[in-house]
Amino acid sequence: MSDLNLKQKEKNKDLIKDSIQNQGDSTKSSDIIIEFDGVSKVYSGNVGAVLDINLKIKMGEFISLVGPSGAGKSTLIKLLTCEELPTSGKITVAGRDISKLKRRELPFYRRKVGVIFQDFKILPKKTVYENIAFALEVSDATNDEIADKVPKIIDLVGLTSRAYAFSEELSGGEKQRVSIARALVHNPKLLIADEPTGNLDPVSTWEIIELLFKINKQGTIVLLASHDKEVVDTLQRRVVSLRDGKIISDHEKGKYIL
């Protein structure tokens, strides 16, 4: 890495550290929004992806979910988004058992759960503006709603000057910002970031982490699945560690534990 990029990376890290120090921890034990109660997911062949998970997530938390490949992180995320149903146990979100949601209710639930991925998943033939607008169009938003909301979200993720750029004109960090913007269009209560910096250079990594922290400070729960020890340790926020489908540690201001 060049000296210039190294300096920018350290600057971004310092911004996050300062923000953490100023924010403190305003969550309350009574503000439980998400709860896993004895949740297991067992696939055919008696393969247990997650086993007896007990986990409570409070309003406004920023949680890092860590563990080696195959630990159960992806399954836990799929259970939260209702892509999978638990074999046993119960998952409640805002007091409701999400495994009992009717098919017609799922789109409305998922709009309150934003998800971003390592590989961005943006539409290559559309501009930044069009990518974000599309997420509203498919949920039947009016033209006035789209015209009002999209510029605000573009500004939030720092892409105002790139609003009409196409995918091939964007850097990896900018593409991930588009992905985050698209995940925010329905004002989700929970933002799941599944290895969001896995394809990014170190400078872009810290820019994305800073953006996620900014979103969290506005009240959105952020669940960050990550293999990046430096990122997780710098955040000084709650760390939930998985191994072999089980939670092996859960610390309010933890560090990356394998």
Tell me the β-bridge partners of 114. Answer: 191
256 touches 66 (CB < 8 A): yes
pLDDT the model gives residue 3: 63
pLDDT exceeds 50 at position 223 = yes
pLDDT of residue 147: 96
Instruction: With CA atoms as reference, report the closest residue to 13 among 239, 236, 256, 194.
Output: 236
Q: What percent of the chain has pLDDT over 70?
A: 90
Q: What would the pLDDT profile of 10-66 be if each residue is shown by its tens digit?
A: 776 776 766 666 665 555 545 899 999 999 999 987 788 999 999 999 999 999 999
Sheet strand arrangement including 32-43: 47-58, 32-43, 88-93, 96-97
Lowest mean pLDDT among 20-34, 175-189, 199-213, 238-252: 20-34
Neighbours of 206 (CB within 10 A): 25
For the chain, the average pLDDT equals 90
Is residue 40 within 8 Å of residue 53, measured between CB atoms?
Answer: yes
Cα three-residue angle 114-26-57, rounded to 5 degrees: 45
Contact of 193 with 165, CB cutoff 8 Å: no
> Over the stretch 63-107, which tens digit does the pLDDT of each residue have?
999 999 899 999 999 999 999 999 999 999 999 999 999 999 999
What single string gives the DSSP state of each residue in the chain?
A: --HHHHHHHHHHHHHHHHHHHHH-----TT-EEEEEEEEEEEETTTEEEEEEEEEEEETT-EEEEE-STTSSHHHHHHHHTTSS--SEEEEEETTEEGGG--GGGHHHHHTTEEEEETT----TTSBHHHHHHHHHHTTT--HHHHHHHHHHHHHHTT-GGGTT-BGGGS-HHHHHHHHHHHHHTT--SEEEEESTTTTS-HHHHHHHHHHHHHHHHTT-EEEEE---HHHHHHH-SEEEEEETTEEEEEETT-----
Using the predicted structure, report yes or no on whether residue 180 has a pLDDT greater than 90. yes
The pLDDT, as a whole number, for residue 29 is 47
